[in-house]
Amino acid sequence: MQSLDLDVLESALAWRRAGRRAWLVTVAQTFGASPRPPGSLLAMRDDGILVGSVSGGCIEDDLVARRGEFTGRVPRFVSYGVTSEEARRFGLPCGGQLEVIVEAEVPVADLEGLMAHIGSGRVIGREVDLATGTWRFAPALPTDECVRAATRFTSIHGPRWRMLIIGASEIAHYLAEMATTVDYRVFVCDPREEYRQAWRVPGATFVEGMPDDAVTALRPDGHTVVLAVSHDPKLDDMALLEALGSEAFYVGAVGSKQTSAERRKRLAAFDLTAREIARLRGPVGLSIGSRTPPEIAVAILADLIATRNGLILERAAEAGTRRTA
């Protein structure tokens, strides 16, 4: 889940523990263009303080003004943008509509339970009984979506995507820090002890063993990204051989255009098909003239976001932009 939505839950829990009133607002469903997708979260405190977002701001203002209407454990649904006048008033795109579910008086125990599931790295479904407001948790898949049914509402929480980074380099540090904010659970593998000792990113899971074993153990699927950034061909190539033959959504490696060409020649000597080798993104990332480790991490993450959203932009491999060799 997005780090913004995690901040919402943490804030709501802190407020409830402190004895404050708090409302949890979730985008239940949308029609047409909408500023925030289903599942987006907002927390309101009794003094009007907000964390999170369900729109560009006007809907939030309306919810704050009406917060006194929402009382009791039973949730309420509120729709916006049903008419053209409301669309203009609330700043929704032309034809856009969305419905939010407002929950007041969510027990501390429920919020703690949800945070525990998220903290374990699991993708979890939060089922809200619309007649009583009680929560029930059930395992979910990364591909599951919010469900607005007659008797229940289900939202999905936890990391939808996984990222395995090979090499605890400076690029890896920035990648790990940024990736956790956009719905990735991050794993890092580097058998070199000096790099492991220098690792300083909390929240990223360090994987023991060699890179190829790490890829195999992760069992990459269509929501998995494997990135080789160790700058050591022996380590990077081991991981790429396994990742390119897997179902991983995205496989990339840093390096200059020449380095990437040489890497493809080495990979061709192994049991990989031309189609599998063609999946390798190298030089990895968008062509934004990046040079420093944080800039390279931004370029890689930007390409990941664009690819997830089905966009095709000019990548470093196509532009020939140099990466750290």
Residue range 166-197, pLDDT digits in tens: 999 999 999 999 998 888 889 999 999 999 88
Is residue 234 exposed (0-12), middle (13-18) or buried (19+ Cβ within 10 Å)? exposed
Q: Is residue 33 part of a domain?
A: yes
Name the band, by pLDDT with cuts 50, 70 and 90, for residue 324.
very low
49 or 80: which carries more pLDDT confidence?
A: 49
User: Are 86 and 223 in a shared domain?
Assistant: no
What's the CA gap between 186 and 297, in Å, rounded?
Answer: 14
Say what the pLDDT of residue 84 is: 62
Nearest to 272 by CA among 237, 304, 307: 237
Nearest to 282 by CA among 226, 230, 323: 323
User: Are 62 and 15 in a shared domain?
Assistant: yes
Residue 73 has pLDDT above 90, yes or no: yes
Say what the pLDDT of residue 322 is: 39
Q: Is residue 324 part of a domain?
A: no
Name the band, by pLDDT with cuts 50, 70 and 90, for residue 109.
very high
Number of domains in the chain: 2
Residue 236 has pLDDT above 80, yes or no: yes
User: Are 151 and 166 in a shared domain?
Assistant: no
User: Are 175 and 237 in a shared domain?
Assistant: yes
Q: Is residue 266 part of a domain?
A: yes
User: Are 191 and 315 in a shared domain?
Assistant: yes
Say what the pLDDT of residue 319 is: 58
* Domain assignment of residue 7, given as a range: 3-155
In the numeric block, which tokens belong to residue 232? 């050591």
